[in-house]
Amino acid sequence: MGKFNDRIALITGASTGVGFGIAQKLHSLGATVVITGRNQLTLTQAAKEIDPTGQRISTIKMDVANAQDFKATIEKIEQQYGALHYLVNNAGITGPHGVNVEDYPLKAWHDVVATDITGTFHGLKYSIPSILRSGGGAIVNLSACNGVTGIAGIAPYTAAKHAVLGLTRSVALENAQKGIRINAVGPGYVQTPNIERLPQATQEWMSSTHPMGRMATREEIANVVAFLLSDESSFMTGAFIPIDGGYTAQ
C-alpha cells in the first residue's frame, strides 16, 4: 500500500463505525487525518484512540447536511494545514428499517436524503476546489451493496446509495483530466461496535446474507478505501467496488 506521508485526509462521520476504521487506517499509513461528526465527545474520544499524541489528527464538529458547516470545515482545514488531498464521504444514516414506502415518515425520508445524498454533494462541491489548489488527490464515496440492488423496507436509503453512485460517476468524469480521481465502494454489513450491540440472532442473520457467511471487518473496508486513495489505483476513476462478501454476485 502506498504511503500517505505529508498528506491531509478528511473523513466524515468518523467518530465511530466504518469511518473510524478508515481514519485509523489512513493515519497508520502516514496521513494527517481530520475527522468530523455531530458529537464532539465521541469525536474527541476517537481522536485520542487513533493518535494519543494529537500530532496528526484533528476534529471538527459538523453536519454534512449543512452546506455552511461543510464550507467552513474546508476553510478550517486549509487554514490549519494549508492543503487538502483526500476526502472520504462516509457520513450516512439508514433511516427506519422494515417500513414500506407508503408508510415511511416524511421527516425520515428528508433526513436520509439530506445526509446521504446532499451531504455527499456538499463534500464534493466544497472539497474539490481545495484538493485542486493542493495539487490534486482523490475522493472515495461510501455507497453500499444496495447501491446496485433493491432492499425492501429501506427504500429511501437504497435510493440514496444509488444516488451516491450517480454523483460519483458524473463528478469523476468532470474531473478526469484535472488530477482528482473519484470512486465509490459498497460495503455489506460490517462488524462495528454498534452492530455488536445488536441481538445475536440479528447479527447471525446479517452474516448469513453474505455468501461468505460472515460480516466484513472495519479494516477490510478501510483497506479498499486506502487503495482507492493511493497512487496504486492511479488509473481508476468513476469505479464502484462492492466489499460485500459476494452479496451483489447473487
- Give the residue numbers annotated as catalytic, written as ranges: 157
CA neighbours closer than 13 Å in the CB half-sphere of residue 186: 25
Cα–Cα distance, 139 to 240 (Å, whole number): 12
Q: How far apart are the first and last CA of the chain?
A: 30
Cell readout for 90 is 462516509
Angle between helices 17-28 and 218-229 (to 10 degrees): 50
How many whole angstroms separate alpha carbon 191 and alpha carbon 221?
11
Quote the cell numbers at residue 233.
489505483
As given in the structure block, the three cell numbers for residue 33 are 487525518
